[in-house]
Structure 1
Amino acid sequence: MNSIKKYLGIVWILLAVAVAYYSIDIFGGKLTSGKQEDLVFGIIIFFVLLPLVVSGLLIFGYYAVTDEYED
């Protein structure tokens, strides 16, 4: 079971990297579109939601890899 946790921890870390990359790729155009509603949406995604999602996935993956859930 511990080996499954470690593999899934690596999966969570890779998922965090993929979410960050694709979010910047997809929502990057929102910041430069010139429309006010796109700019507000892009700012909310980049500076509020994206850091929360990526940091949550990274921390969860890190804890799974380092066996913090054993205690």
Structure 2
Amino acid sequence: MNTIKKYLGIVWIALSIAIAYYSIGIFGGKLTSGKQDDLVFGIIIFFILLPLIVTGLTIFGWYSLTNEYED
């Protein structure tokens, strides 16, 4: 079971990197579109939700790799 947790830790960290990469590509265009609605939506996603999601997945993956969930 511990090996599964370690492999899933790697998966969570890779998933957080992939989400960050694709979200910057997708929502980066919203910041430069020139429309008011796209700008507000892009700022909320890019500066509030994206860091929460990426750091949450990274911390969860790191804890899985370092056996913090052993107990």
Give CA deviations for 1:7-56 in whole Å, capped at 9, x if unaligned: 00000000000000000001110000000000000000011100000000
**Structure 2 CA distance, aligned partners of 1:46 and 1:55?**
13
SS at match of 2:69: helix
CA RMSD of aligned residues (A): 0.5
**Structure 1 CA distance, aligned partners of 2:14 and 2:48?**
21
The runs of 4+ residues in structure 1 deviating greater than 2 Å are: none
TM-score using structure 1 length: 0.98
State the number of aligned residues. 71
TM-score using structure 2 length: 0.98
% identical aligned pairs: 79
For structure 2, list consecutive stretches of 5 or more residues without a partner in the other structure: none
**Structure 1 CA distance, aligned partners of 2:39 and 2:31?**
5
For structure 1, list consecutive stretches of 5 or more residues without a partner in the other structure: none
Question: Is the counterpart of residue 4 in structure 1 residue 4 in structure 2?
Answer: yes
| Matched residue type, 2:56 | G
